């Protein structure tokens, strides 16, 4: 790689931490991926063909162990969900839950979400995009690695249908302020908050056990919901 290529290479917003599969997660990954997984092969996804119906399509980027995604999908069977997560043990955990709870309206990809959005998600095909508790990269010198940057926001805009929503949540106040600043300046979006800032946690976003524990300790959580105009 030349120095010029290295300079222009996109900064990744994540570090791939494989961790260790439990035997159950490994079994789930090996046996359930053909049912729930979508390969990152660069081809455009036909959501109606994948799910066998026409329904609103919602993507969650970075679903962790899938606890919230599974709960949302179970509570809102009228929607179809695509979860994107690079941490494969977390993918295995979600696959286990989808099978155990007979949740049929979720599919999963395990690759860089930005590349998937760029290469495989048709423009104007999404009803919503969820970005819950992304890596805050809390050291100031690492803020450039945060996924919520102007270029990413415009990529999201292209993929949302008119009127589609972009919901972000973070428990880092300075990241919340950056999110608000970036989104408020972004072309093609309007803030759903009457005060032009943050919104109460919408009913459809389940609170994880870690979030509930943080709330008991007095930690804040900030939600932002913007709509594509």
Q: How many CA atoms lie within 13 A of 54 on its CB side?
A: 0
Nearest to 81 by CA among 65, 68, 100: 68
Query: The tokens 């805050």 sit on which residue?
Result: 136
What residues contact residue 77 under an 8 Å CB cut-off, 6+ apart? Answer: 105
Residues with catalytic annotation? Answer: 135
Name the residue among 52, 55, 105 with its Cα closest to residue 81: 105
What whole-number distance in Å separates Cα of residue 57 and Cα of residue 106? 10
Q: For residues 229 and 210, give the distance between their C-alpha atoms in angstroms, rounded to a whole number.
A: 34
């Amino acid at each position: 790689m030349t120095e010029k290529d290295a300079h222009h290479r996109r900064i990744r917003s994540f570090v791939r931490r494989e961790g260790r599969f439990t035997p159950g997660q490994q079994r789930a990954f090996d046996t359930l991926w053909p049912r729930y997984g979508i390969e990152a092969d660069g081809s455009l996804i036909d959501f109606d063909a994948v799910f066998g119906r026409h329904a609103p399509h919602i993507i969650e980027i970075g679903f962790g162990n899938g606890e919230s995604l599974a709960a949302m999908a179970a509570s809102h069977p009228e929607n179809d969900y695509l979860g994107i997560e690079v941490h494969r043990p977390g993918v295995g955990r979600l696959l286990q839950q989808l099978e155990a709870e007979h949740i049929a309206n979720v599919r999963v990809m395990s690759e860089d979400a930005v590349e998937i959005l760029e290469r495989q998600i048709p423009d104007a095909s999404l009803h919503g995009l969820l970005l819950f508790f992304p890596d805050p990269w809390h050291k100031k010198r690492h803020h450039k690695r945060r996924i919520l940057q102007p270029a990413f926001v415009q990529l999201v805009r292209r993929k949302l249908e008119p009127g589609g929503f972009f919901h972000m949540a973070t428990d880092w106040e300075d990241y919340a302020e950056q999110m608000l600043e970036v989104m408020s300046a972004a072309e093609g979006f309007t803030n759903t908050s009457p005060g032009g800032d943050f919104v109460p946690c919408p009913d459809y976003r389940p609170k994880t056990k870690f979030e509930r524990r943080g709330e008991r300790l007095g930690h804040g959580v900030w939600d932002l919901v913007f709509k594509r105009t």
